[in-house]
Amino acid sequence: MSLLEIKNLKIHYRTKNGVAEAVDDVTFSVESGNTLGLVGESGCGKTTIAKAIMRLLPPNGRIAEGKILFKGRNLVDLSMNEVRKYRWEEIAMISQSAMNALNPVARVGNQLIEAMQAHRQVSREEAGRRMAEVFELVGLSIERAKDYPHQFSGGMKQRAVIAMALMLEPELIIADEPTTALDVLVQAQIILKIKELLSKLSTAMILITHDIAVVAETCERMLVMYAGKVMEHAKTDDIFYNPYNPYTLGLQNAFPSVKGERRELISISGFPPQLINPPPGCRFSKRCPFVLPICREQEPILEEVGPEHFSACHRSADVEEIRVKSKEEKTWEKEKVA
Amino acid sequence: MAKKEFSERAVVFRHFLREQREVFRGEMLSVVGLIIVGIFVVLAIIGPHIVPYDPNEAIVDQWGLIPEDKTPSKEHWFGLTRFGHDVFSQTIVSSRTAVVVGLISAVMVVFVGATLGLLAGYYGGWLDELIMRITDIAYGIPFLPMAIVLMTLLGRGISNVIIVVVALFWRSTTRVIRAQVLTIKERPFIQAARVVGASDFRIIYRHIAPNVLPMVFLYVALAVGWAVIAEASISFLGFSDPDSISWGQMIHFVFAAQMFRQAWWWFLPPGLCIVLLVMSAFWIGLAYEKVVNPRLKIE
Amino acid sequence: MLITIVFFLFRIMPADPTALFIGASLHPDSQKMMIKMFGLDKPKLEQYFIYMKNLFRGQFGISIRTNQRVIDMMVDKIWNTLFMMGTAMVMALILGVIIGTILAWKRGTSIDTIGIAVFLALRSAPEFWLGMIVLVIFGYNLQWFPIGLMLTPGRPYTGFFDKYFSLDFVHHLFLPVFSMTIFYLATPMLVTRNSILDILHEDFIEMAHAKGLSNSRIMFRYALRNALLPVITIAPLMLGFAIGGQVLMEKVYSWPGMGRELVEAVNSMDYPVVQAAFLFLGAIVIVGNFLADVLYSYLDPRVKVG
């Protein structure tokens, strides 16, 4: 049994202009101890899924359909009391801008201790010892525990938040853009630290980011999302070496490669579709250079195109041709005419 | 050419009015506030002409004596004061004092305060320091004690009440407006205007002022409330003009006569009027507060 | 801020002509003494310094009205005022914060709307009028509390402690404090409520939820603790207005304090008393400001007073 199974998840947001289908029929799973990289543009629904797992959706959001099975239990059905129990104990979340995730008027160490004491009957000494452990794990000096958040640098705050997430040894950590707000050098440090921790502990992780380079370094499996739908889902290596989905191909083009050949960056022109009353068919159809009439009428199903490799595209059979063409700049310009 | 300028201004003014109407759209409470304040303004203007009795003349019977029974009756809806005056007439006529003091002081308070805040925020440097130091000192002075002393020095008249109120209340507006100006100043469009070569005056007048306007109106609304209560407090202590009537003064007399436990008809109406007027002013302010702090609107 | 204190003190001095300092009705010997003590025959500037010097020695001159030393008249009244105003302010702040927090928690419900409406209405009323109504209902009609004054006349008391901590005192203290509290608590209540609502949007609140902390813990330890800071900032402002309120309430409740003294002194042109009373009332504001600054730096670890 997988640690986490998302089945046909649909999440809607109520806005004054209508209902936004932020997440539509998303299915994937995460095994114990594995890492899944969740990538996509801003607004594609990745953070929404993370919040849904933690049951932290804002008041105007709701899980319209589907199941979130964690160790067999459907989290959607649980009462708030039960939700509070599994939060942090079994699943922890490191959200975007961890900079601001710490209470400015409480000492950092106390906040970690508090996280533990909220779930277990432990004395302050015990919690303190655990805190020292996790501080060491993330590479923070224990003396800093009595400082306030504003006395920490950005990178240190990030480490502190990661440490806090590890306090109760959760089985799953959801890291939402853990490095976006940091400068490049610190980013590299944190990524290294995360890799280290992942290899040491047996925690599973969902790493949410729009930077596929980070995923390439840290995750075993990768899931590409677009406009609330899963585009492609496979082992990270498979996605990089054998991509099937046009959107994935477009993404790869948009990232510079330090090692690879010098080439012009090719970006995907256009904007994501609106999520309120989305257009029929494949949500990427408007921007896809390989679009066929059927793409605009029928939504593609997520089908298995290789061993544990899934893609949602009507043209999966033409993948060889598509891969070649997508390397050419003019392919991506052509779609403007369409 | 003058005609073109005039019609241009007319358009701007009409646009301005329409904008203000937008502010009140959907704000039931604020609209009610506007209506109530409007009623008081009307009363202030026509009050002395429509009241049934002269508020300053005692009602006497054929022997020149004040009636014993002063409770409300058909002829005297709010009853009589200890000295035989018709309470209803007094209440209505007092609205003139309240409205005059309230509106004029409020406008002047905010004008002075906002101007200083604008200058301090925009120019910064020593002017800012100077204005803020003065504001700090002004903040340290408790209102009522100073008001009492000033009233004694200046003499007891309505205009002096206005002067006192303005002299002491401008301080809150200054700080807040200055803060607003500081945030607006950093916005890109201001930098753009500077780069284009717009003069300081033009920037302040055409760019910053309109953005500060909602907050200015908010403070005018608040200031009306403060001013009315301030006037009432000064009158209650006995320091205002003995020749003019105001609600505060009416309450002063009730207290002096030690009749407030019996003569409820005498001291409740003026107080209630103050509550009404002040609350209405605050309600109007609420509409502008939503503009100034849009986060309140989203939920 | 301290510089402001000094400026402030210097400012009140020149406001009134020193000729008023001694009244014609004073006994000629006292007049001479006053002239000597305050150097009224010397140039203005020197007078200021002499006045300041005397101030620090507690010498305020002699009351024109009662011919007593001003300082003797003042001491008791200062305590009377401090007890009443202090209690009322503390109550207003504490209750205001608590009610504000509750309203923020229950945001959007009828409790929220009614709560705000009620206290806003109370705040819009002239406080002396409120005081009178309270007095009528609870003092006259229900007879639960005495009608004004500070202590029962004629009742002997033994020293400071007995005077201010006796049941009689508290009994008399209740109504005035009650009236002031219900009037003034609207401000901290609104500030707390708005501040908490703002804070609830912050990221660290979401993190607190994610950690699995209970709602009440989040509300009090996270939201409130951060929301207190703006409240402390406005507390000194409240103080400024509260002094006015104190003056009014002392009249309504016949409370023998500094406020009442000030009014009587102004009415009888008793200049030395006016100046002294005014100074003390102003000093309260300044001390209050200072205390608020200290409290703020204590509560906000981001600010450390050098």
Which pLDDT band holds residue A201 (cuts at 50, 70, 90)?
Answer: confident
Render pLDDT for C45-66 as a digit per residue (tens, 0 to 9): 565 566 666 666 666 666 656 6
Q: Is C126 in contact with B225 (Cβ distance < 8 A)? A: no
Please tell me which of the candidates C211, C217, C302 has its beta carbon nearest to residue A87. Answer: C211
Average pLDDT over residues B240-248: 84
The pLDDT tens digits for B193-213 are 777 777 777 777 777 777 888
Residue B189 within any structural domain of the chain: yes
Residue A36: band (very low, low, confident or very high) from pLDDT cuts 50, 70, 90: very high
pLDDT for the residue numbered A53:
92
Can you give the pLDDT at residue A67? 92
pLDDT digits (tens, 9 = 90+) for A73-125: 899 989 888 888 889 889 999 887 777 888 888 899 999 998 898 888 889 99
Question: For the residues B83-102, what does the mean pLDDT come to?
Answer: 86
Q: Tokens representing C271?
A: 């200049």
Tell me, what's the pLDDT at A68? 92
Query: pLDDT by residue (tens digit) across A3-33?
Result: 999 999 999 998 888 888 889 889 999 999 8
Residue B215 has pLDDT above 50, yes or no: yes
> How many domains, in total, are found in chain B?
1
Q: Is B99 within a domain?
A: yes
| Residue A49's pLDDT band (cuts 50, 70, 90) | very high
More confident residue, B62 or B90: B90
Residue B122 belongs to domain with CATH number = 1.10.3720.10
In-domain check, residue B209: yes
pLDDT, residue C50, reads: 64
Helix (H) or strand (E) holding A62: strand A61-70
A partners (3+ CB pairs within 8 A) are C
Q: What is the mean pLDDT of residues C229-237?
A: 86
Contact call for C204 and A97, based on CB within 8 A:
no
Q: Is residue B107 part of a domain?
A: yes
Closest CA of chain B from C11, distance in Å: 10
User: In terms of pLDDT, which residue wins out, A271 or B226?
Assistant: B226
Nearest to C225 by CA among C97, C91, C92: C97
Any domain includes B263: yes
C6: which residues sit within 8 A by CB, 6+ positions away? none
Task: Give percent of chain B with pLDDT exceeding 90.
Answer: 6
- The lowest-confidence range among A49-63, A308-322, C22-36 is C22-36
Subunits in contact with chain C (3 or more CB pairs closer than 8 Å): A, B
Highest mean pLDDT range out of A169-173, B46-50, B136-140?
A169-173
State residue A260's pLDDT score.
62
Crossing angle (nearest 10°) for helices B143-154 and B209-236: 70
Q: Which residue has the tokens 């109370």?
A: C122
pLDDT tier at B2, thresholds 50, 70, 90: low
For residue A127, pLDDT over 70 is answered with yes
Summarize pLDDT for C273-298 with one digit per residue, the tens: 777 787 788 788 878 888 888 888 88
pLDDT of the residue at A132: 92
Q: Is residue C43 pLDDT above 60, yes or no?
A: no
Q: Which part of chain A is CATH 3.40.50.300? A: 4-219
Q: Residue A337: its pLDDT value, please?
A: 45
Which among A90, A102, A105, A151 is the top mutation candidate for probing chain C, defined by the most C β-carbons within 10 Å of its own β-carbon? A105
A104 and C210 within 8 Å at the Cβ level: the answer is no
Three-point CA angle A95, A101, A106, nearest 5°: 155
Structure confidence at residue B86 (pLDDT): 83
How many CB atoms are located within 10 Å of the residue C276 CB?
Answer: 24
ipTM: 0.80
The percentage of residues in chain B with a pLDDT greater than 70, rounded to a whole number, is: 94
Give the model confidence (pLDDT) of A310-337 as tens digits. Answer: 999 888 888 888 888 887 777 777 545 4
How far is C155 from C192, CA to CA, in rounded Å? Answer: 43
User: Is pLDDT larger for residue C161 or for residue B181?
Assistant: B181
d(CA A83, CA A267): 41
- Outline where DSSP puts E strands in A139-260: 172-176, 204-209, 221-226, 229-235
Q: Are C267 and C145 in contact (CB under 8 A)?
A: no
Least confident stretch, A58-62, A168-172, C178-182, C283-287:
C283-287
| Higher per-residue confidence, B87 vs C29 | B87
Is the entire prediction scored with pTM above 0.90?
no
Report CA-CA distances (Å) from A185 to A124, A159, A176, A181, A192.
36, 14, 19, 12, 11
Residue B299 has pLDDT above 70, yes or no: no
Touching subunits of B (3+ CB pairs, under 8 Å) are C
Non-local (6+) Cβ contacts of C180 within 8 A are C84, C85, C88, C89, C92, C127, C131, C242, C245, C246, C249
- C contact residues 104-143, partner B, Cβ 8 Å cutoff: 107-108, 120-121, 124-129, 132-133, 135-136, 140-141
Q: Mind listing the pLDDT tens digit for each residue in C66-76? A: 666 777 777 87
- In degrees and rounded to multiples of 5, residue C256 shows phi and psi of -75, 80
Please report the pLDDT score of residue A333 as a whole number: 73
pLDDT in tens, B94-141: 888 889 888 999 999 988 888 888 888 888 888 888 888 888 777 777
Kindly tell me if the per-residue pLDDT of B272 is higher than 50. yes
Grade residue A66 by pLDDT with cuts at 50, 70 and 90. Answer: very high
Given a cut of 80, is residue A131 above it in pLDDT? yes
- Does residue A61 have a pLDDT over 60? yes
- Cβ atoms of B294 and B252 closer than 8 Å: no
Whether residue C95 has pLDDT greater than 90:
yes
Q: What is the pLDDT of residue B32?
A: 87
Cα gap B178→C119, rounded to integer Å: 29
Of C118 and A274, the structure prediction assigns the larger pLDDT to C118
Cβ atoms of C235 and C284 within 8 Å: the answer is no
For residue A70, which of A85, A59, A60 has the smallest C-alpha distance? A85
Contacts of B299 in chain C (CB under 8 A): 107-108
Q: Write out chain C residues lying below 8 Å of B267, CB-based.
A: 129, 132
Region A196-217 average pLDDT: 86
Q: Which of C204, C213, C222 is nearest residue A118 as measured by Cβ atoms? A: C213
B94 contacts on C by Cβ (under 8 Å): none
Amino acid, single-letter form, for residue C69: R
CATH architecture of A4-219: 3-Layer(aba) Sandwich (3.40)
Is the per-residue pLDDT at C29 higher than 80?
Answer: no
**Chain C residues 206-265 within an 8 A CB cutoff of chain A:** 206-214, 217, 221-222, 225-226
Average pLDDT, stretch A197-203?
Answer: 84
The pLDDT, as a whole number, for residue C93 is: 93
Is the pLDDT reported for residue C188 higher than 70? yes
Residue C203 φ then ψ, to 5°: -65, -35
For the sheet containing A302-306, what is the strand order? A91-94, A172-176, A204-209, A35-39, A221-226, A229-235, A309-312, A302-306
Confidence of residue C28 (pLDDT cuts 50, 70, 90): low
Q: How far apart are CA B181 and CA B119, in angstroms?
A: 9
In a domain, B299, yes or no: no
Structure confidence at residue C20 (pLDDT): 46
Banded pLDDT at C96 (limits 50, 70, 90): very high
Q: Print the domain residue range for B231.
A: 93-292
Query: What is the reported pLDDT for C97?
Result: 92
Window B:34-73, CB contacts with C under 8 Å? none
Assigned domain for B131 exists:
yes
> Residue C135's closest chain B neighbor by CA?
B261
